[in-house]
Amino acid sequence: MTTIKGPAVFLAQFLGDEAPFNSLDNICQWVASLGFKGIQIPTWDSRCINLQLAAESKTYADELKGKVAFYGLEITELSTHLQGQLVAVNPAYDVMFDGFAPKEVHGNSAARTAWAVQQLKYAAKASQNLGIDVHATFSGALVWPYVYPWPQRPAGIVEAGFGELAKRWLPILNEFDACGVDVCYEVHAGEDIHDGITFEMFLEATGNHKRVNLLYDPSHFILQCLDYLQYIDFYHEKIKMFHVKDAEFNPTGKQGVYGGYQSWVNRAGRFRSLGDGQVDFKSIFSKLAQYNYKGWAVLEWECAIKDSVQGATEGAAFIQSHIIKVTEKAFDDFANSGTDDAANRKILGI
């Protein structure tokens, strides 16, 4: 077994225009003061990283890593959640998702997809240059608008969607493979990979590509009423990343999993700061330790109620308190009788 690394924090939700959130130096100093040991970097934010330069210049990557190390931190992973979303976009979402891409590709879905694919390829090489072997992203979605079968889905539309999704991702996955980096998809509503079954469908569509792996975030499973502990039993070999995020689901006689088009604070299912929701983190950390999870525990703060600074401050201590230093000996070693094969055979009468 391996002791989980952490605590770390995903910077995406904290970056802003005011100090200490307005530069990599400032935010590193801040998160280190809270007790974090690692940062997950959103690659779309130029305040943190020049992704193309990190891919093309080992010198720049080394300087970036050194800057973070100056504050006693490590770069745990790079994230391309926004760019990964744009690898596959159903036309129903074209206008809304244009905002994830540069203005020069707005209104041109083919150009937007090509930009996103190149971003992912940069992320593969940048990760390699930084000495990181796992990467966080979204799958994008072609079939998501048809998740509820009414009207009846046309025969073959799901298979066609997953076939196209795999076709778009295979060149990216091959680039990550060449760089020795695993792609960890965050299983998430709004993505074609949104539960275990859809992950298996995508994995099969890619020919069981070895770089297809998982980012585990139990908060999304709370909102789906999915057994997030058994999920670890099923997929622990593929879980290479872990977002520590809490959530709660409180259905009423008026509202259930679909949320009634309400704001986050008024939904039956909503994300919460660590310890304020319903996720059983003690069992999660135990299972991940049991299955020899070798990665980081990364705080992703998303809460409809609590301030982000309070969430981060409490979150660092929360994660630290849940990390299990795995045992190096069996609890009953003191009672070891020290027998050998000959003694065992004698005991058994053989």
**pLDDT at residue 43 greater than cutoff 80:** yes
Residue indicated by tokens 């879980």:
239
Going by pLDDT thresholds of 50, 70 and 90, the confidence category of residue 8 is very high
Cβ contact 73:9 at 8 Å: no
Task: Provide CB contacts within 8 A for 24, sequence distance 6+.
Answer: 47, 48, 49, 67, 68
Query: Please, which pLDDT band fits residue 96 given cuts at 50, 70 and 90?
Result: very high
Confidence band for 346, pLDDT divided at 50, 70 and 90: confident
Question: What does the pLDDT read at residue 339?
Answer: 75
What residues contact 15, with CB distance under 8 A and at least 6 apart?
21, 22, 27, 42, 45, 47, 48
Residue 336's pLDDT is: 79
Q: Which two tokens stand for residue 167?
A: 């076709």
User: Which 3-state string (H, E, C) describes 201-256?
Assistant: HHHHHCCCCCCEEEEECHHHHHHHCCCHHHHHHHHCCCEEEEEECEEEECCCCCCC
Tell me the per-residue pLDDT of 216-262, one tens digit each, with 9 for 90 and over: 999 999 999 999 999 999 999 999 999 999 999 999 999 999 999 99
- Three-state SS letters, 143-172: CHHHCCCCCCCCCCHHHHHHHHHHHHHHHH
Cα 207 to the center of its chain, rounded Å: 22
**CA distance linking residue 20 with residue 331, whole number of Å:** 46
Cα-trace Rg, the chain: 22
Reply yes or no on whether the pLDDT at 338 is more than 90.
Answer: no
- On the question of pLDDT at 337 being above 80, the answer is no
The total number of residues written for the chain in this structure: 350
Q: What are the residues facing 38 on neighbouring strands? A: 8, 74
Predicted confidence at residue 340, as pLDDT, reads 85
pTM, two decimals, is 0.95
Which residue range(s) make up the domain with 144? 5-348
* pLDDT on residue 331: 76
CATH number of the domain that 237 lies in? 3.20.20.150
Render pLDDT for 260-303 as a digit per residue (tens, 0 to 9).
999 999 999 999 999 999 999 999 999 999 999 999 999 999 99
User: What is the count of structural domains for the chain?
Assistant: 1
Preceding omega of 7 cis (within 30 degrees of 0): yes
Mean pLDDT of the chain: 97
CB–CB of 32/313 below 8 Å?
A: no
Residue 113 has pLDDT above 90, yes or no: yes
Q: What does the alpha-carbon distance between residue 294 and residue 284 come to, in Å, rounded to a whole number?
A: 14
Query: What region, left, alpha or beta, does residue 167 occupy, with left being phi > 0 and alpha being psi -120 to 50 degrees?
Result: alpha
Instruction: Give the whole-angstrom CA distance, residue 52 versus residue 226.
Output: 38
- How distant, in Å, are the alpha carbons of 12, 36, 271 from that of 63? 21, 21, 36
Percent of the chain with pLDDT over 90: 94
